[in-house]
Structure 1
Amino acid sequence: AELTSLDLASNQLCGLDRWGDGTYTAEGITSIADALRVNASLTSLDLSWNQIDAEGAKPLADALCVNASLTALDMRVNDLGDEGKQMLQQAVKGRRGFDLKVST
């Protein structure tokens, strides 16, 4: 069976912040982005509540430019800032029906 949905919200594999939510290192996000570049079955990815900043958004945005299977990405409650949000929005611009969730 192929993996089509992956929920890594508040993921604690890379550590915890002071509120008990997940955190990701730049290396961890780069690994996820590398996997997205070659994955053809994942359609939904939830990375909310993980303190991902603009530096982490960059490799994800780059991966979204080449991944055609992902149709939903939840990036709410992260530390993307305007720069990170813009990178992700630009990466999926023109992808009809893409559900990108970011905090405002």
Structure 2
Amino acid sequence: MGNHRIYTMSFASVYPHYVKKAERKGRTKAEVDEIICWLTGYSQEQLQAQIDANTAFEAFLEQAPELNPARSMIKGVVCGIRVEDIEESTMREIRYLDKLIDELAKGKAMEKILRC
């Protein structure tokens, strides 16, 4: 485990920021949830249970039912760092999610975001 503060933050504390960012750009909470479920393999009910349980971000990713194999197709820059170049696996997974939410907020079509 790295010593990044976000690992111990609850996913529930970060989730509203994802939703707010999307909604500011005319997107929906349902789209945010679809992205998270696509990336992690959680069902909507499992996602809500993780939020309700205040699961730490690192545990949220470790407990993910099935990380989507297509996530390796996610490329680009988040916070000035190319996501595909991040060596630490947990941080890379977090940045994958950040990148997908950024794409949603920028108006990209869901089919492209989900690498369909």
Normalization by structure 2: what TM-score? 0.25
- Larger RCO of the pair (alpha carbons < 8 Å, separation 6+): 2
How high is the TM-score relative to the length of structure 1? 0.27
More strand by share: 1
